[in-house]
Each structure stands twice: as structure tokens, then as C-alpha cells.
Amino acid sequence: MNEVIAIVGGGSTAISFLHSYLQLVHDGHVLPNTIYLFEKRGVFGPGAAYEPDQASNILNTKTGFVTPFDDRPGDFYQWLQTNKSTWRRLYPNFRLDAHGYAPRPLFGIYLQYQLEVGRDFRIPT
């Protein structure tokens, strides 16, 4: 029998789960090899929590500490540093500071980027 996993909602929790799941597969665990990811908004990554609604809404965790990846502290901050051309024109007044608080939609852009081009969501070989 072919086991299948369905994930309803393509936001930060789904990204965190998929990252952990693929780590287990990479480490040799035998797990279902079919995963369906459903997202009604049409964009995977931001989910409801980090959608581009109000740039004035900020994260409740410091920029240098928030991440969906348990094994990569500071990943969001590092991504912001290396991908300024991806987000700077949308948030020209945002001052990048590891101890500051970023706009919630900016974290959504980061999450979307992780699914679209992130290195972690490739099938392990």
C-alpha cells in the first residue's frame, strides 16, 4: 500500500514540517513518498499569518532569532542580509537589525522564497 501525506495549509508550519520530514528521509528513515500540499491562497509560504496585508504589523520575535528551521537559528536574518535585492524595494524603510523586529509580510516573502528556490526542499539523493 502506498501511504500518502496531505498537508492542508502551506504556511510556516508546513514549511517547518517539510524541512524536518526531508531531514528524516535524508537520514534513511523510510517514510511515505507522496506528499500533497494544499494552500487556498494560491501562494505557498506566507500562509495567513505572514500574508502581505499590513507592512506595519511586525513579528513578535527578533529578526535574528525567528526561523521555521529548528537546526538553523538566525536563518531569516542571514537570508535578509544576502537577498536585499529581493525585499529592499518593498521595504525601503526597514532597518536590518538582528535585535529589531521585521514586518510580518517580509517574513512571508522569506517563507515563499524558501519553498520556491530554497535548497532544503529538494528530494534528497
- How many domains does the chain contain in total? 1
Helix (H/G/I), strand (E/B), else coil: 54: coil
Q: Which domain holds residue 112?
A: 4-121
pTM of structure: 0.85
Given a cut of 90, whether residue 56 has pLDDT beyond it is no
Task: Measure the CA–CA gap between 22 and 100, rounded to whole angstroms.
Answer: 31
The strand ranges marked E within 1-125 are: 4-8, 34-38
Phi then psi for residue 103, to 5 deg, are -65, 140
Confidence tier at 125 by pLDDT (50, 70, 90): very low
Q: How far apart are CA 84 and CA 96, in angstroms?
A: 10
What integer pLDDT is reported at residue 119 of this predicted model? 60
Give the three cell numbers for residue 115. 519553498
Q: What is the per-residue pLDDT for 48?
A: 87
Q: Is residue 36 pLDDT above 50, yes or no?
A: yes
Amino acid at the residue 121: F
